[in-house]
Structure 1
Amino acid sequence: MKNIISAGILLLASLIAALIGLGLAYHSFVTPLSSKGTFNKIGGDKWIEEGSEITLSKLLHRGNKAKLSFNTWRPEGLEAAHLKVFLCDNLISDFRVSEQPQVLYLTNTCNPKILRFEVVNPFTPSELDQRKLGAQLETMQIYSDLGVPLVDLRLLIQTALAIFILSFLWLLIANQIGSRVLPFLAPIFSCLVLYNCENLNLQPAQALWIVITFVSFGFYLYGRLQDNRSGFELNNSSNILSSMTIVPEGQFLWSSAIIVSILVVGALLRFYNIDFGLPFNYHPDEVPKFNAIQRMRAHGDLNPRYFLHPSMLLYGTYFANSLLHLFGRTGEWMDSAIYAGRLMSATAGTLSIYLTYTISKRLFSTHTGLLSAAALALFPLHITCSRYVKEDALLLFMILLTIHFVVKAVKQDKAALLLIAGLLAGASAATKYSGILVFAVIIGAPFLKSRHVLKPDLRFLKFALFASLLIPVGFVICTPYSVLDSATFLKDVASETEHMARGHTILIDPWSQFWTYHLARSILPGVTIAPYLLALIGFGLLIRRRRIEDLFVISLFLLFYLPAEYVNAKPAPQPERYIFPCLPFIAIAASELIHVLRKKSLHALASIGIFLLLISPVKRSLNLASELKPDTRDLMRSWMLDNVPQGSTILVDWKPYNPVFSEEEFTLVYLPRDDILSNLRMSKLRESKADFLLLSGLFYDRYFNQPNANPAFREIIRDVRGNFTTLKEFKPKYGTYGFHNPSLTLFDLKN
């Protein structure tokens, strides 16, 4: 009975929180200069002309009012402006403009609500400006008797229900931990979050709600499992996953056979069609690597003269290509450089699967290790990034190798292994500068050993401090010209630091997305929905259980997630590469959740969890692999060679995003990279005298699906589509992912 009363109070509190939060988030006070797309035919000079409209979305059908304030000035000799206002074609007001604000009652079931103005006594300002003007609108305010706008009933109910679900979940947790305040914090917190959703942009709030709700459920679930103890102890690390045909601990041959099978599957997915796009360059970041290696070959030394990224990947690619030619690869040495680099990335990605197994096996159990390795082997993001000559796959391998030695040192009580970990941490930083974060793992080793978050093991602490001194040594060994060519090194590092602070084309700060940008836009599509939700529940379980191994895995995830979320370099294409090091710990959290369910003899739930963890990503990964060759750029190239007159002049947004043609085939004019959009305006395109325009989704999609994108940029692309004939368009069946298969559109500029 007590819980029913509390639930009723929480339901009312959730409704109030939704009502107030959504009302405060609504763009209730606007001007013609800050209309957020609300006004039509009311420009920056504020004049209302005949047929002007104000569009108001997501408002309740009754209870709202609009207060309009006007500037009464009109040309001398003209009487006050006489306006009629229609709400969805129904006349709601007929008035003459005065100093007093005009209040309109927004009572109508239409949505959106469109206010249309009819000017009864218009004037024309000049021969050049033939608008029929009425009065200048200064401000508009939407409000209700409650003080805030009343939003659409459906949106209100959905939001209140979401708040109530979280509140009720916190009520259940409160009953477990003996807190009276906790459940009532949810409506307050939710109201504050909604208040910060500018212009009712609820996507970040939805992402945050999913994270908090599913983590909270994992927290609650562990408490329930502890309350119903039977069978195995949950803090024990052994279990049987019979539904996977995984055998009990100790049968080494079976577990070895399973991990080998997982590695074979992982390798097949990563090496499959790894020569995609070649001999053309379809990944823009592969080109600088190719150029750096070419410089080393030309100068006969190992100085890449390029330090926007460290040198480990370059040396690895150089070595891999040399091996290829040593064992029979024919042709020019440089022709196979990118292919060799991709082979190295795929190898590093495959080995990362094994390291995930060894780490989670030592921290939890063989079964958790096998399941987490299987999950990582199938994650679409891990597979995709393991195909590029990019630092990400090699970086994760080095990070996991460092963690492997740290965990091994702790579990086997061999503190000297931390010295190897220190050198490997330096090698991680020499792969990608963000690899320096793994320094924290070495410092955390004494706490992992002592099993206390505040009291480190003193013997391990001494070794950890000495190992930290070896990090610069490892870095210099793997990027020696950071010292030998320090001037170029410092210059490039400063440039890359500025780039990460400045962001790409769109600035996205973490608070505007409630620190969930990468959770919703990188991790979710990168692992697919089921593993994502299982991992969130798993993290909640680990937080509640609070073993030192649990806290270690959580800390590792946050160590690599929070810096990626903090920097402004987020927008597409492929922002997900920045959270690549988080993937193993997502796999481990989800796998340990299933491990715990199996130990509690919840075999059906564990089996469902295994199925969802593996089937969802493997389906997505196979679909993406099926479209690797031919790429949409290959398809567009073939079509254009067959159907577009040779020698035609073609405008192209950016070379790496589009098909490659020779000078004999077409005259290609690449738009200036820093000013592409302005060159896509109608006047510029007509002045260009070009025959065709080729646009890639890798360029323009960001303006449609990224937060904080300027709406004016979208209109430029829409104008192109609306004013020119689409001659041919290629779209991938399973969508663009990474730098594969952009949507390509060829426009005829002659019509």
Structure 2
Amino acid sequence: MICQRIGMPPISTIGFGRTDVSSPSRVPKPPARITVRIFTPRHHFSTMTYPSPPVRKPDRDSWMQRGILLLILLLAAGLRVRGIGFGLPALNDPDEPLFMMTAVEMLRNHSLNPGWFGHPGTITLYCLALISLVVGGFGIATGRYADTDAFVSAVYADPGILFLPARLCIAACGVVCVYLTWRLGRRIGGTTTGLIAAAFLAVNSVHIDYSQVIRTDIQVSIFMLLCLFASIAIAEKGRLRDYLLAGLFVGLGCATKWPAATIALSPVAVGIWRIARGNRDARKLLVFAGAAVGALLLASPYLVLDYSTVLRNLTGEARPIHPGATGGGLLVNLRWYLTDPLLGSFGAAGLVLAGIGAVLLPVRNRVAAIAVLPGVAAFVMLIGIQALRWERWLIPLLPIAAIAAGYAITCLAEVLRAWSGRPLRALEPIAVLLLMVPMVSAAQARAVARANDTRQLASAWARTHIPPESSILVEHAAIDLIPGPWRLLFPLGTAGCIDARAALAGRIRYGEAENRRSGSPLVDLGSVALFRLPGCRARFVILSHYDRYRDDRTRFAAEWQRYAELTRGSTLRHVIAPVSGLRGGPTIYIFEIASTP
């Protein structure tokens, strides 16, 4: 009777695998014993001891689930590694060289001070510095490079030596995000929800793209997911350890990218909810706050030691306008995020299911909703109210959208099974495969476009059509043209247009580039001082930001003046425009100037 009260079968019915207790020839080893405390009406605990159940081996379904997860992770890794060397040795992403130059400069200066805190990006920069140290140390140890100077010179000549390992590190972080999405989805809605969410994120085209570039967005997603996982643990158990972990992940997330601070609202909301239910968690919330601040300062101590640089960098990052990325207010920005990156990477059906899941979650799983939604909602509001809008800012929300879509599928499948009265085991697999078709198609289209970038096509045109000994002004980091028989110029803010080959040979430093940039959002012709413009005249001009300023010349009148002045009287020789699903990158304009001073 007592066994039935606590949900256990009678002792006489308990067996041990296939061996019966009554068999005299095969007497099993007495199992360990467990103690059960039963609450009686008189508010006393009575203690009884029962044999513990035998350790069960993983069943067939468990092994199948693990196998599916392994296939999903392998798929995620394959999609993120495929084409990861795009553009090299040219550098298509404008921020990648700034990250790598900062990391290399830390090694050259034998200092842990990054000297830049715009994101702040400290965790990413330390990872890049460590990668540089390992790659350089291995090259020197094997005799490939004579010393550190020889290694740095080789990197400036061929950035792929460092950029490829660094991109592989970010790709690995992308796979970790897929794994954590599975864990968080399983915690919220069960194993099926976790597997569906992981599959959706594995093939998400936006997540794949930013898993292949050196930026902070993928790494900060890891810490934000871990914080949400700790928040659910706080809601369920309220342990001090979980508060400490949540604070640790918030601090590390902020040391990677400032907006991660919004995720702190989840453990705070859970702590307040637990206090309202009569739990004594007020001190634990203080421990959480202390752990968050402590982790931030331990991971990035120069936020305090070099606070003047921090203030200067934050001021430079807070720009009201940016060519091609100026926002339009909260509602306009949120609509753009929904109809552009989210719709393009999840498809219409996937996006609708994500919305349904976001509505069902607080109804069916209140604890998970309290632990997840506050921080996520705060992050959505933060990127929505910004003056600018960037596709990459959405990266930390992609795992949450994938979980919401997976949750909706499992809930709807339950409803259909209840309505039909049949098992219908194939519902979820069929739905997932159908939804993944447009996602995989979008990922393939973006992969093809990235492999056929307009900037590399411009370099190919230059090799064929530009005569030797000509001078070329190129606006992007076309290091693939350095070996060619031309004189290359590159715009660098207040310095005017510098000799690209001489700058690379002299190992231009990040600090110099940042100072010459003078707060400009881009290193391009529009940031060149007007009195320096005559030094930018070359026989051929390859421009990658021309149409951005031309189409928004009202807000960027001063920048457009540089382009109009330099190309006046020139001949437009070639235009290379992106084509959806076939060719990526900006529209490239190649001008030939009749005579040069």
**Is 1:531–2:531 an aligned residue pair?**
no
Partner of 2:486: 665
Cα distance in 2 for residues equivalent to 1:707 and 1:612 = 44
C-alpha spacing 1:494/1:457, structure 2 compared with 1 (3 Å): farther
Secondary structure of 2:113's match?
coil
Q: Do the aligned partners of 1:386 and 1:393 also contact (CA within 8 Å) in 2?
A: yes
Cα distance in 2 for residues equivalent to 1:267 and 1:700 = 36
Cα distance in 1 for residues equivalent to 2:356 and 2:547 = 36
The Cα shift of 1:621 comes to 1.0
One of 315, 322, 327 as aligned partner of 1:504: 322
Q: Do the aligned partners of 1:560 and 1:579 also contact (CA within 8 Å) in 2?
A: no
Cα distance in 1 for residues equivalent to 2:441 and 2:449 = 13
Q: Do the aligned partners of 2:80 and 2:208 also contact (CA within 8 Å) in 1?
A: yes
Q: How does 1:247-646 map to 2 (within 5 A)?
A: 251-310=61-120, 311-324=122-135, 330-331=144-145, 333-334=151-152, 335=155, 336-411=161-236, 414-446=239-271, 450=274, 455=276, 458-496=279-317, 498-499=318-319, 502-505=320-323, 507-511=326-330, 513=332, 515-542=334-361, 545=364, 547-550=366-369, 552-570=371-389, 575-601=390-416, 609-629=431-451, 631-646=453-468
- 1:504 partner amino acid: H
Tell me the TM-score normalised to structure 2 length: 0.71
C-alpha spacing 1:712/1:520, structure 2 compared with 1 (3 Å): farther
The Cα shift of 1:636 comes to 1.9
Q: How does 1:647-686 map to 2 (within 5 A)?
A: 647-652=469-474, 654-656=475-477, 660-661=481-482, 664-668=485-489, 670=491, 676=525
Q: Do the aligned partners of 1:636 and 1:659 also contact (CA within 8 Å) in 2?
A: no
For residues 718-750 of structure 1, give each alpha carbon's deviation from its aligned partner in whole angstroms, at most 9, with x where no partner exists.
99999975533434444599xx63332323444
- 1:555 partner amino acid: P
For residues 666-701 of structure 1, give each alpha carbon's deviation from its aligned partner in whole angstroms, at most 9, with x where no partner exists.
44363858685699x9xx9999864333232x6635
Give the aligned length: 485
Q: How does 1:7-406 map to 2 (within 5 A)?
A: 251-310=61-120, 311-324=122-135, 330-331=144-145, 333-334=151-152, 335=155, 336-406=161-231
Cα distance in 2 for residues equivalent to 1:531 and 1:364 = 17
Deviates most, 347-356 or 481-490 = 481-490
The Cα shift of 1:363 comes to 1.3
Cα distance in 1 for residues equivalent to 2:533 and 2:230 = 59
Deviates most, 414-423 or 581-590 = 414-423
The structure showing larger relative contact order (alpha-carbon pairs under 8 Å, at least 6 residues apart) is 2
Higher helix share: 2
Cα distance in 1 for residues equivalent to 2:189 and 2:73 = 20
Q: Do the aligned partners of 2:204 and 2:345 also contact (CA within 8 Å) in 1?
A: yes
Cα distance in 1 for residues equivalent to 2:535 and 2:260 = 48
**Is 1:728–2:574 an aligned residue pair?**
yes
Cα distance in 2 for residues equivalent to 1:256 and 1:485 = 47
Q: Do the aligned partners of 1:296 and 1:302 also contact (CA within 8 Å) in 2?
A: yes
- 1:700 partner amino acid: D
In structure 2, the gaps of 5 or more residues are 1-57, 156-160, 418-423, 494-516
In structure 1, the gaps of 5 or more residues are 1-247
Q: Do the aligned partners of 1:695 and 1:745 also contact (CA within 8 Å) in 2?
A: yes
- 1:408 partner amino acid: A
Partner of 1:17: none
C-alpha spacing 1:712/1:484, structure 2 compared with 1 (3 Å): closer
- 1:272 partner amino acid: R
- 2:576 partner amino acid: F
C-alpha spacing 1:390/1:678, structure 2 compared with 1 (3 Å): closer
**Identical counterparts, % of pairs:** 26
Give the number of the structure whose alpha-carbon radius of gyration is greater. Answer: 1
Q: Do the aligned partners of 1:657 and 1:699 also contact (CA within 8 Å) in 2?
A: no
Secondary structure of 2:574's match?
strand
Q: How does 1:698-737 map to 2 (within 5 A)?
A: 700-701=547-548, 726-735=572-581
- 1:600 partner amino acid: V
- 1:742 partner amino acid: P
